[in-house]
Amino acid sequence: MINVGVLGATGAVGQRFVQLLAEHPWFKLTTLTASERSAGKLYRDVVKWRLDVPFPESIGTIRVSPTSVSSLKDVDLVFSALPAEVAKETETACANAGLAVCSNASSHRMEPDIPLVVPEVNPDHLALIDVQRDHGRDGFIVTNPNCSTIVMTLALAPLRGFGFHSIHVATMQAISGAGFEGVPAMGIYDNVIPYIGQEEQKMETETLKIMGTFEQKTVRPAAYRVSASCHRVPVIDGHTMAMWVDIQEPVEKVKEAFIRYKPPIKGLPTQPKESVHFMDDPDRPQPRLDRNRGNGMTVSVGRLREGIRFIAMGHNTIRGAAGASVLNAELISSKKYL
């Protein structure tokens, strides 16, 4: 077992890390950190645990540590659910101190020597870990993309062979993506918020890095044009997106590609049986019905029409955040980087 910690363990994504790591077959969760407000207290006393997920009692008695390298003496790997502004410095300090860092924060995603990985889409980009080591780092940072970008790139992965160039996407994003205190209840119910800070830019840039080509110790970005419009809707979990991709092939051929898709990885504990699930029903996928498919790790795709147009939906705090990062850690571990 590898001892692991979670940075920012009391937040919306931090809780999901705790949920996924409490019974993990390869990783033993020993350390939880948060802000000075929570440090020194028992996890069960400071976390506002979600009502719809059973609380892992064994973790509840861990005393929350301050977020600093000195709190992480007995771990080899840390998962970061820190706010971006705190993550930048803290994650760098952890990696420089020899730790492996799997981060859900956006701060380091676009740095040239930091892998931005969705294991089913670009597992080969982990080779950037060697580049970080060439740069003199004892540990390393591996990031996962923004939640919407993960759902979108997984939906695009089966279609790569069609050689598309242009992607248009309109998202309908859940409120859990904004963090526990993120969206006031009085602002979101009976409403749609037509703006999510930085989200469109992240979808438009991160996608090119993830779907780019690793060559000569660097990633050459994919030559796609991505145009995104992002919106917050009153759904608790599950980001839904309408997508338009410039594929000229008939719908039947595209459907075949979704159904036959096999990702280039296997045997990782958090990996779902199906990374992408194709649905023929005219009114699916829906967040309430489909977000927990594959323990929240499967992206569901449906309403495939000429154009090519379709709907993709995935669990934003599991597939789009903590689960993505845990799957990255499993891939790293299976490749003997730890």
Catalytic residues: 147, 239
Going by C-alpha positions, the residue among 56, 15, 20 that lies closest to residue 32 is 15
In sequence order, what are the beta bridge partners of 309?
244, 305
Closer of 81 and 172 to ligand A2P (Cβ): 81
Which tokens is 296 given? 């929240």
Alpha-carbon distance 314 to 301, whole Å?
9
Closer of 5 and 14 to ligand A2P (Cβ): 14
Does 106 engage in binding with ligand A2P (CB under 6 A)?
Answer: no
- Stretch near ligand A2P under the rule CB under 6 A, chosen from 79-87, 105-113, 115-123, 293-301: 79-87
- State in angstroms the smallest separation of the CB of 105 from ligand A2P: 9
Does 82 engage in binding with ligand A2P (CB under 6 A)?
Answer: yes
Closer of 83 and 269 to ligand A2P (Cβ): 83
- Stretch near ligand A2P under the rule CB under 6 A, chosen from 179-187, 220-228, 250-258, 325-333: 179-187
Does 34 engage in binding with ligand A2P (CB under 6 A)?
Answer: yes
Which tokens is 302 given? 């449906």
| Residues 6+ away with beta carbon under 8 Å from 97 | 69, 72, 138, 139
Does 180 engage in binding with ligand A2P (CB under 6 A)?
Answer: yes
Does 50 engage in binding with ligand A2P (CB under 6 A)?
Answer: no
Residue type for position 58: S
Closer of 5 and 8 to ligand A2P (Cβ): 8
Does 69 engage in binding with ligand A2P (CB under 6 A)?
Answer: no
Alpha-carbon distance 12 to 31, whole Å?
17
- Stretch near ligand A2P under the rule CB under 6 A, chosen from 7-15, 132-140, 244-252, 325-333: 7-15
In this chain, which of 19, 31, 65, 67 binds ligand A2P, going by CB under 6 A?
67
- Stretch near ligand A2P under the rule CB under 6 A, chosen from 4-12, 54-62, 162-170, 323-331: 4-12
Return the residues of window 181-200 that contact ligand A2P according to CB under 6 A: 181
Does 307 engage in binding with ligand A2P (CB under 6 A)?
Answer: no
Closer of 49 and 337 to ligand A2P (Cβ): 49
Q: In what order do the strands lie in the sheet with 100-103?
A: 65-66, 27-34, 2-7, 77-80, 100-103, 140-143
Alpha-carbon distance 48 to 286, whole Å?
27
Asked whether 165 and 225 are in contact (CB, 8 A), the reply is: yes
| Residues 6+ away with beta carbon under 8 Å from 60 | 42, 43, 44
Alpha-carbon distance 179 to 313, whole Å?
19
A 10 A CB-CB count for 145 gives 27
Number of H helices and E strands in the chain, helices first, is 11, 14
Tell me the residue number closest to ligand A2P, measured at CB: 11
Q: Residues interacting with ligand A2P, by CB under 6 A?
A: 8-12, 14, 34-35, 37-38, 67, 81-83, 86, 179-181
